[in-house]
Structure 1
Amino acid sequence: MAARSNLVPTPYSIKMALLKVLLESQGGQHQSDLDQWIKSQFIWIRDLSIYIWPPEKLVVNRNGYKLRYYDQTADKADRSRSTLPMQDGFVFREWVYMQGHLQICCGPSGRLTQLEQLFSLINYFGKRGCFFQYLPEYKQQTLGPLFQPNPTTSFTVQPMDDLGEKTTFNRINPYSTDKAQLDKDRVIKPGFLPVQLTTSSAHYDIYQR
């Protein structure tokens, strides 16, 4: 069975995107104290509480593609072949189109200026197949979150992963020998989205907030 796409980015993917652009934009200035600097920066990003408010409408388009691609195994087994071996394949893809603005609530934090700068550098969350753009004219600063998950007014459940409250940078660093543990360094909980499935078929779903 093919995997289903998330309707909105998760707190884990948002925090990892923040870490990525932080390292890319400021890491070069801390070459002499990189380990100490990134550990302190990681803590405030890890401890952010993140809530997601979906756009007014989401359309999920499902497509299957037949393709032919290079068979590396067969080619290595017979180097005397005069032609490249090919094999048939099938891939499944889902594309999520958002109509309206996706809102992300982050906090509490005393680094609002830095947080805004980092969000302005992000153009995707998770895998590179998506695109997001920060819109500074819609920024709001409040004493508390404007929205939080509410199961009584939500119609769609999506798994939401997040960084564990005690995880360290080395645990999520792919170049470190420390290993991350599921449900400890990366925690997955059910997330409640205030969107309702209004139309569905074999090739698409439409969700309305």
Structure 2
Amino acid sequence: MWYVAAYQQTALFSLRQSLSTSSGETTLLIPTPFALKMALLDAAIRTQGKEQATLLFPILRDLQVAVRLPEQMVIIKSFLKIVRPKKHGSSDDTGSGLQTPLGSSIANREFVFYSEPFGLALSTQDSNSLSYELVQLLAQINYIGKRGSFIQLLSVPQQQERLDEQWTVLTTPQTRFFMDGTLQMLDDCGAKLRFEQVDVTSGIRLVVGKDRIQRAIVLPCRQVQYGRGFTLFQHIHASEIREGDSATWQS
């Protein structure tokens, strides 16, 4: 059983790829399973308390996640002025006699615009577990990704027995994908990740590659236009592909 929700962007989306640097950020096109599960956990803590959220965490950690892409997505590229700690400690940069620990710099930033609402779908191993809680938590999410990537739930999440070809499952290895699709490295929760490791107040760190794993996913979208400050991606529909077209499908 899948629990399906549709969201509308109310601000541009951004989520840094794990291999990019803070000064040269490149964004993913969609939220990762890890980001979505942490958003659900945050909603559980805010609405039900930390104790109850701790009990729900193993089920949230093991959720299956799928996404339905919008028809078009645009990555907008820009440069921003940021403030960050100085490498060599406090200094007086202006000659005013005031020692400051922060300095300004220029950093690359990317943001994604969706042409229409996008879909998120969740499934648990036990179809009866968390049915009511998932619907409530999906309604409590107001941003996914970097803070400020605001979204708005459009309607009450619905139940579906199975997903159609418009959906892409992000939490299992792909057996079929579009060869001209877009490869994304998406992170997810490891099978043995504990609540204490994602609790920022515990001081216990998680291990990348074990507690936070990377998964290569080919999204059904292709780059169709490119400019100095933008990249346009178009959703690929299975109906566009002729039967037996091995140049497009990879199994």
Give the strand-richer structure, 1 or 2.
2
| 8 Å Cα contact 1:18-1:118 kept in structure 2 | yes
d(CA) in 2 for partners of 1:88, 1:21: 34
| 8 Å Cα contact 1:15-1:46 kept in structure 2 | yes
3-state SS in 1 of match to 2:91? helix
Q: Which moved more, 1:109-118 or 1:62-71?
A: 62-71
43 and 87 in structure 1: CA distance in 2 versus 1, 3 angstrom threshold: closer
| 8 Å Cα contact 2:81-2:106 kept in structure 1 | yes
202 and 24 in structure 1: CA distance in 2 versus 1, 3 angstrom threshold: same
- Aligned-residue offset at 1:153: 2.4
Give the alignment of 1:48-67 within 5 angstroms: 48-65=63-80
Give the helix-richer structure, 1 or 2.
1
- Show the counterpart of 2:177: 152
- Show the counterpart of 1:135: 154
| 8 Å Cα contact 1:59-1:206 kept in structure 2 | yes
CA deviations over 1:118-159 (Å, ceiling 9, x no partner): 11111111211311111225x331223333355432610111
Matched, 1:180 2:206: yes
69 and 19 in structure 1: CA distance in 2 versus 1, 3 angstrom threshold: closer
169 and 86 in structure 1: CA distance in 2 versus 1, 3 angstrom threshold: closer
Question: Could you state the TM-score of these two structures normalised by the residue count of structure 1?
Answer: 0.83
d(CA) in 1 for partners of 2:43, 2:114: 24
- Aligned-residue offset at 1:87: 5.8
- Aligned-residue offset at 1:182: 1.2
Structure 1 residues without counterparts, runs of 5 or longer? none
CA deviations over 1:66-97 (Å, ceiling 9, x no partner): 57999782149x8x727989965212221211
Give the alignment of 1:1-209 within 5 angstroms: 2-27=24-49, 34=51, 37-65=52-80, 73-75=90-92, 81=97, 89-108=105-124, 109-110=127-128, 111-136=130-155, 139-146=157-164, 147-149=167-169, 151-153=176-178, 155-209=181-235
Identical-residue share of aligned pairs (%): 28
| 8 Å Cα contact 1:75-1:85 kept in structure 2 | no
Could you tell me which amino acid in structure 1 is paired with residue 59 of structure 2? W
175 and 153 in structure 1: CA distance in 2 versus 1, 3 angstrom threshold: same
- Aligned-residue offset at 1:183: 1.5
d(CA) in 1 for partners of 2:133, 2:83: 47
Question: Could you state the TM-score of these two structures normalised by the residue count of structure 2?
Answer: 0.70
RMSD between aligned alpha carbons? 3.0
Structure 2 residues without counterparts, runs of 5 or longer? 1-20, 236-251
d(CA) in 2 for partners of 1:129, 1:152: 32
d(CA) in 1 for partners of 2:234, 2:227: 15
CA deviations over 1:152-205 (Å, ceiling 9, x no partner): 326101111111112111122122243211121111111121111000112100
Q: How many residues align?
A: 200
d(CA) in 1 for partners of 2:48, 2:92: 45
Runs of 4+ deviating beyond 6 Å: 67-72, 82-86
199 and 170 in structure 1: CA distance in 2 versus 1, 3 angstrom threshold: same
Could you tell me which amino acid in structure 2 is paired with residue 105 of structure 1? A
